[in-house]
Amino acid sequence: MEEYGQWLKSAQGQVDGAFLATENNLIFAEYADGRTAWRVTATLTLPRGRHIATLDYISPSDTLLDDVEAAEQLVVRKVYCYAGVGPDGNPVVSRPFAPLPLLSYLPLVTKEPVPIEPIVCQYCGMVIMDYVGGQVTLPASRVAALTQEHWGEALCYGCSSKRSSQEAAKSKW
């Protein structure tokens, strides 16, 4: 969590009617109607020195504002905020806001094929495993389908990575 601290540390002050303070990757805001705290869970760097942060809403309770350890135990829902440099050159954080409605119609054209039998890599003979990323897992059936479409063989992630590296090296020569 330490990596988010740098821009948060200095980003505090009066924003959008709320006083924002930051400490240990937590954002505290005091609005006219009460206090709230959020914990930063991820950041994405944007153009023009901006960041977007994913926050876990912690609690509106006054007592938690002084108790960082207790606050970290209570996660209720996810929100977002923007952070960056304001017009006066000082760091600022926007008032946290809820996610937009999910674009649920997006994957309708890309339904996952459901494998009936385990998929075996045609190169190394191992059962093809899901590609597990930091946030999203690409099902094994999709990895196999992609390599089948591209190279005519259903390959596991490891073998397909080796093959693509070899082909890239060949094309240089």
Partner 1 sequence: MVISVGKSYDFKTSLRIGARASNAVQERFILSGWAVENVEGLPLFRALDIDFIVGAPGCGVFTVEVKGDQSAHATKNIYIETSSNDSTGSLGCLIYSRADYIAYYVMGAGACLMIPRKELQSWIARRIDDFTSVTIQAHATAKSSGTPVPIRVIKAEVPGCYLLYDLPVLGVE
- The residues binding partner 1 (CB under 8 A) are 15-16, 44-48, 50, 52, 54, 80-87, 92-95, 97, 99-104, 106-107, 109-112, 131, 133-139, 142-143, 146-147, 149-150, 157, 160-165, 167-168
Please check whether residue 34 is in contact with residue 12, taking contact to mean a CB–CB distance below 8 angstroms: no
Closest CA to 28 of 4, 64, 79, 1: 64
How far apart, in Å, are the Cα atoms of 18 and each of 11, 31, 96?
A: 13, 5, 11
Residue closer to partner 1 by CB (options 16, 67) is 16
> DSSP 3-state assignment of 119?
coil
Instruction: Please give the Cα distance from 41 to 15 (Å, whole number).
Output: 21
When the beta carbons of 63 and 100 are compared against partner 1, the nearer one is: 100
Which residues, other chains included, contact 97 with Cβ-Cβ below 8 Å and sequence gap of 6+?
A: 79, 80, 81
Our CB check for partner 1 shows the closer of 87 and 125 to be 87
Judged by beta carbon, residue 63 or residue 170, the one nearer partner 1 is 170
> Quick one: 71 or 79, whose CB is closer to partner 1?
79
Please give the C-alpha separations between residue 131 and each of 22, 23, 27, 82, 165, in angstroms, as whole numbers.
Answer: 36, 35, 34, 31, 17
Tell the residue number behind the tokens 């890239």, with chain if given: 168
